[in-house]
C-alpha cells in the first residue's frame, strides 16, 4: 500500500469513520488495528521486528520503573551514605539493562541496514590483502519504517531511564504509539510524552479540523505529485548519463533535487499531519521553511526537525557530557581558553551526531562524506563566527540588511544542495568522476538552451511543475513572514475554492496511475 493510492485513501477513510463512529474509549484500539493492518499490508513477516523492538523497549521501561520503586523503598530509613550507595547501585543496574535493551533493539536494524555495508568493506580489505576467503553478502530486506520505530523505541527507553515520564503499563497502548502508521514511513520522530499521550486521549469530530486536515492533505499530495514526481526523471537522467551533460547541468540537477526532496518529504509530512489533524491527534512538525535558513546550522534546525532533536537529546548531549567530552573540554580550556573549552565538547559530540546522521540516511561512504561535509561547514562557521561579525561590522553590514539576508539564504541553499550530491551519488568513485567531469566540461554556453535542463520532461509538465514551485515559494514566504493566516482569512471563499480545484485538477493531470504516485524518497532512509 503506497501512501498516495486508492487503497490507502480507502484505508484512511475507514480509520477516520471507525475512529469517530465507535465509542471514544475504543479510539486508540481503532488506531492499533489500523497500525496492524497498515503494517501487515506490506508483509506479515516484517511484523516480527516491530513486535520485537516494542516488547524489548516496553519490558525494559517497566523494569526501570520497578527498579526505581524498589530502590526508593529500600532507601527508606537508610543514612545518606547508604542512600548514595543504593543510588549508585541502581544506576549501575539501570545502565546495564539499558545497554542490553538498546543493543537488542539495534541488533536487527544494524544487521539488516548496515550488514552488507560492513561486509562489502571487509571484502575490499580482504581482497587488498589477497586473502583466500571472502564473506558473502546478506540477502535481507529492510522492513518498512524500521529506522523509525527503532529510534522511537530507543527514545522511549532513554526517556523512561532518565525518569522523564513513567513507563506505560499497557503494552497495547505503548504499541499504539510505537507502531503509529502515519509516522512509520518517514517520521516524524515522536516522543511518547507528546504523541503517545495525544494518541490515548479521546477526540470528538470537528468539521473545522476536518476541513483543515483535508486542505493540508491536498497540499501534500499536490507537492508530491505536481512538483516532486515530475522532477525525478530529469535528475536521474542527468546524473546517470552525466557524460552527455556539462557541469552547469549537474549543478542545476542538484538544485532541482533539493526542490524535489523538499516537496516530496514535506508533502508526506503534510499528508500525515493533515490526517492526524482530522483525528485530533497532534503530530510534531518536521519543517520550518528550511530553504530560508541563513546558515547550514540553521538549516538543520529547520529541516527534519524531529531527527535533529532526536540526535540532540540522545546523541549530542550524552556525548558532550560524557567523561571523554568533559576531559576534552577541560584540556581545551587550559590550552586555548574558556571559549574554546566550551566549543570543543560540542565539536566532539558533533562528530558522533554527523556520523550517525550520515549513516542513518544510508549505509554507504557517500552518506558519511555528506554528513562530514555538513559537520565541517558547521564547525568552521562556529569557529569563525566572531571573525565574520568583525568583518560585517567593518563593512557596515547589519544582520537585518535584506540583500545580506538574501545572499546568506542563497548561499545556504547552494551549499546544502551541493552536499546532497554525495548523498545521491551511487558511490564515492562515481561522485568524484561526476565532479571531475562537471569541472572539466562545464558548458556555460548551454545556459541559453533551457530545454536541455529539463531533460525527460514535457513542456506541459515543466509548466505545471513551475506553477507548483511558485505556489510553494509563495506560501513559504507568507508563512515565513507570518502573513499566511491573514492572507487566508482575507481571500474570498470562491477564490480559495478555485485554487483548491486547480490543485486537484493538476494532481489528476500529473498523476501516474491508479496508484497515483511514486514512492516517497525519505522512506528509503
Partner 1 sequence: MPLFILVFFLLGEYFLGRLLTPVNSAVYFRDEIRKMKENGEHADILFLGTSRIYQSVYPEILEEKLGVKYVINGGTATQRPDSSYIFLKDLYREVKPGVVVLGVQWSSLMPEANEAGEIESTLMMYDRLSASGRMECLLRKFGSSVWFDLFPMYRYRKEFRFASIRDNLEKWENYRKNGFIPNAELEQYYHGKGFVYSNSSKASGNVPIQDEGEARFSVDDIVPEKLAAIDNIVDFCKKKGIKLYLISPPMSLMNLYHVEGYQEAVDFYEAYAEKNGLVYHNMNYLKDREDWLPDEMMADYVHLNGKGATCFTERYAEILRKDLNGEDTGECFYRDLEELKETVRRVVAIKAEFTPGDRSVRIEANCLCNDDVTPLYRFELSTDGGKTYELLQDWSEEAELIFEPAEGKYRFRILAALDPEDPKPAWQVYDQEF
- The minimum distance between CB 4 and partner 1, in angstroms, equals 13
Q: Toward partner 1, which CB reaches closer, 96 or 488? A: 488
Q: Are 56 and 153 in contact (CB under 8 A)?
A: yes
- The minimum distance between CB 226 and partner 1, in angstroms, equals 12
> Among 44, 81, 395, 514, which residue sits at the site for partner 1 (rule: CB under 8 A)?
514
Please give the backbone phi and psi of residue 263, each rounded to the nearest 5 degrees, phi first.
-65, -40
- The minimum distance between CB 485 and partner 1, in angstroms, equals 17
- C-alpha 300/C-alpha 381 separation (Å) is 14
Helices (H), 76-141: 80-128
- For 41, other C-beta atoms within 10 Å of its C-beta total 14
- C-alpha 44/C-alpha 37 separation (Å) is 10
- The minimum distance between CB 174 and partner 1, in angstroms, equals 35
Q: Toward partner 1, which CB reaches closer, 48 or 458? A: 458
**For residue 101, which of 166, 163, 150 has the smallest C-alpha distance?**
150
- C-alpha 178/C-alpha 193 separation (Å) is 12
Q: Toward partner 1, which CB reaches closer, 226 or 431? A: 226
- The minimum distance between CB 500 and partner 1, in angstroms, equals 5
Residues in 277-306 at the binding interface with partner 1, rule: CB under 8 A: none
- The minimum distance between CB 504 and partner 1, in angstroms, equals 5
126, exposed or middle or buried, with CB in 10 Å at 0-12, 13-18, 19+?
Answer: middle
**For residue 15, which of 225, 224, 275, 254 has the smallest C-alpha distance?**
275
Q: Toward partner 1, which CB reaches closer, 388 or 458? A: 458
CA 287 centroid distance within chain = 9
Q: What are the helix and strand counts (H, E) for the chain? A: 22, 0
Q: What is the DSSP string of 261-287?
A: HHHHHHHHHHHHHHHHHHHT-------
Total residues contacting partner 1 (rule CB under 8 A)?
A: 21
String of contacts with partner 1 for each residue 45-84, x by CB under 8 A: ----------------------------------------
Residues in 490-509 at the binding interface with partner 1, rule: CB under 8 A: 493-494, 496-498, 500-502, 504-505, 508-509
Contact call for residue 338 and partner 1 (CB under 8 A):
no
Q: Are 147 and 360 in contact (CB under 8 A)?
A: yes
String of contacts with partner 1 for each residue 209-248, x by CB under 8 A: --x-------------------------------------
- The minimum distance between CB 400 and partner 1, in angstroms, equals 39
Residues in 9-48 at the binding interface with partner 1, rule: CB under 8 A: 10
Contact call for residue 208 and partner 1 (CB under 8 A):
no
- The minimum distance between CB 503 and partner 1, in angstroms, equals 10
Q: Which residue has the cell 543504593?
A: 86
- The minimum distance between CB 510 and partner 1, in angstroms, equals 8
Residues in 446-475 at the binding interface with partner 1, rule: CB under 8 A: 458-460
Q: Which residue has the cell 567530552?
A: 325
> Among 4, 305, 510, 521, which residue sits at the site for partner 1 (rule: CB under 8 A)?
510
Q: Toward partner 1, which CB reaches closer, 445 or 513? A: 513
Q: Toward partner 1, which CB reaches closer, 436 or 496? A: 496
Contact call for residue 511 and partner 1 (CB under 8 A):
yes
464, exposed or middle or buried, with CB in 10 Å at 0-12, 13-18, 19+?
Answer: buried
- C-alpha 272/C-alpha 285 separation (Å) is 10
**Please, what is the end-to-end C-alpha distance for the chain in angstroms?**
18
- The minimum distance between CB 5 and partner 1, in angstroms, equals 10
Query: What grid cell was written down for 40?
Result: 501487515
Residue numbers of the site for partner 1 (CB under 8 A)? 6, 10, 211, 458-460, 493-494, 496-498, 500-502, 504-505, 508-511, 514
Amino acid at each position: 500500500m503506497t501512501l498516495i493510492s486508492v487503497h490507502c485513501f480507502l484505508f484512511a477513510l475507514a480509520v477516520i469513520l471507525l475512529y469517530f463512529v465507535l465509542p471514544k474509549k475504543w479510539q486508540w484500539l481503532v488506531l492499533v488495528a489500523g497500525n496492524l493492518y497498515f503494517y501487515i499490508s506490506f508483509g506479515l513477516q516484517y511484523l516480527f521486528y516491530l513486535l520485537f523492538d516494542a516488547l524489548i523497549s516496553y519490558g525494559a521501561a517497566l523494569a526501570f520503573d520497578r527498579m526505581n520503586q524498589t530502590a526508593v523503598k529500600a532507601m527508606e530509613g537508610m543514612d545518606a551514605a547508604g542512600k548514595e550507595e543504593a543510588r549508585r547501585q541502581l544506576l549501575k543496574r539501570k545502565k546495564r539493562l539499558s545497554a542490553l535493551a538498546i543493543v537488542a533493539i539495534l541488533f536487527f536494524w544494524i544487521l539488516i541496514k548496515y550488514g552488507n555495508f560492513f561486509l562489502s568493506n571487509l571484502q575490499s580489505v580482504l581482497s587488498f590483502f589477497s586473502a583466500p576467503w571472502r564473506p558473502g553478502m546478506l540477502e535481507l530486506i529492510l522492513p518498512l519504517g524500521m529506522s523509525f520505530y527503532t529510534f522511537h523505541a530507543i527514545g522511549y527507553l532513554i526517556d523512561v531511564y532518565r525518569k522523564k515520564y513513567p513507563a506505560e503499563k499497557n503494552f497495547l497502548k505503548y504499541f499504539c504509539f510505537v507502531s503509529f502508521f502515519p509516522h512509520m514511513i518517514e517520521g516524524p520522530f515522536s516522543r511518547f510524552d507528546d504523541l503517545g499521550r495525544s494518541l490515548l486521549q479521546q477526540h470528538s469530530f470537528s468539521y473545522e479540523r476536518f476541513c483543515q486536515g483535508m486542505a493540508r492533505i491536498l497540499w501534500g499530495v499536490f507537492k508530491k505529485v505536481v512538483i516532486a514526481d515530475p522532477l525525478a526523471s530529469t535528475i536521474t537522467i542527468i546524473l546517470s548519463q552525466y557524460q552527455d551533460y556539462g557541469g552547469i547541468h549537474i549543478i542545476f540537477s542538484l538544485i532541482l533535487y533539493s526542490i524535489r526532496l523538499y516537496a516530496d518529504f514535506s508533502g508526506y509530512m503534510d499528508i500525515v499531519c493533515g490526517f492526524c489533524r482530522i483525528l485530533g491527534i497532534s503530530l510534531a512538525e518536521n519543517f520550518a521553511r528550511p530553504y530560508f535558513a541563513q546558515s547550514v546550522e540553521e538549516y538543520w534546525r529547520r529541516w527534519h526537525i524531529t531527527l535533529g532533536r532526536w540526535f540532540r537529546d540522545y546523541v549530542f548531549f550524552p556525548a558532550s557530557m560524557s567523561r571523554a567530552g568533559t576531559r576534552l573540554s577541560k584540556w581545551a580550556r587550559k590550552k586555548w581558553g574558556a571559549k574554546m573549552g566550551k566549543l570543543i565538547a560540542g565539536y566532539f559530540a558533533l562528530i558522533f551526531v554527523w556520523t550517525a546522521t550520515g549513516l542513518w540516511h544510508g549505509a554507504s561512504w557517500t552518506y558519511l562524506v555528506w554528513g562530514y561535509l555538513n559537520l565541517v561547514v558547521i564547525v568552521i562557521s562556529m569557529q569563525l563566527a566572531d571573525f565574520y561579525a568583525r568583518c560585517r561590522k567593518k563593512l557596515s553590514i547589519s544582520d537585518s540588511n535584506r540583500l545580506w539576508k538574501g545572499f546568506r539564504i542563497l548561499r545556504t541553499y547552494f551549499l546544502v544542495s551541493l552536499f546532497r550530491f554525495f548523498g545521491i551519488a551511487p558511490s564515492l568513485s562515481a561522485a568524484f568522476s561526476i565532479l571531475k567531469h562537471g569541472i572539466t566540461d562545464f558548458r556555460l554556453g548551454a545556459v541559453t538552451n533551457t530545454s536541455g535542463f529539463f531533460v525527460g520532461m514535457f513542456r506541459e509538465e515543466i509548466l505545471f511543475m513551475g506553477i507548483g514551485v511558485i505556489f510553494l515559494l509563495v506560501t513559504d514566504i507568507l508563512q515565513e513572514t507570518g502573513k499566511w493566516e491573514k492572507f487566508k482569512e482575507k481571500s474570498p471563499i470562491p477564490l480559495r475554492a478555485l485554487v483548491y480545484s486547480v490543485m486537484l485538477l493538476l494532481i489528476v493531470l500529473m498523476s501516474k496511475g491508479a496508484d497515483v504516485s511514486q514512492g516517497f524518497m525519505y522512506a528509503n532512509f
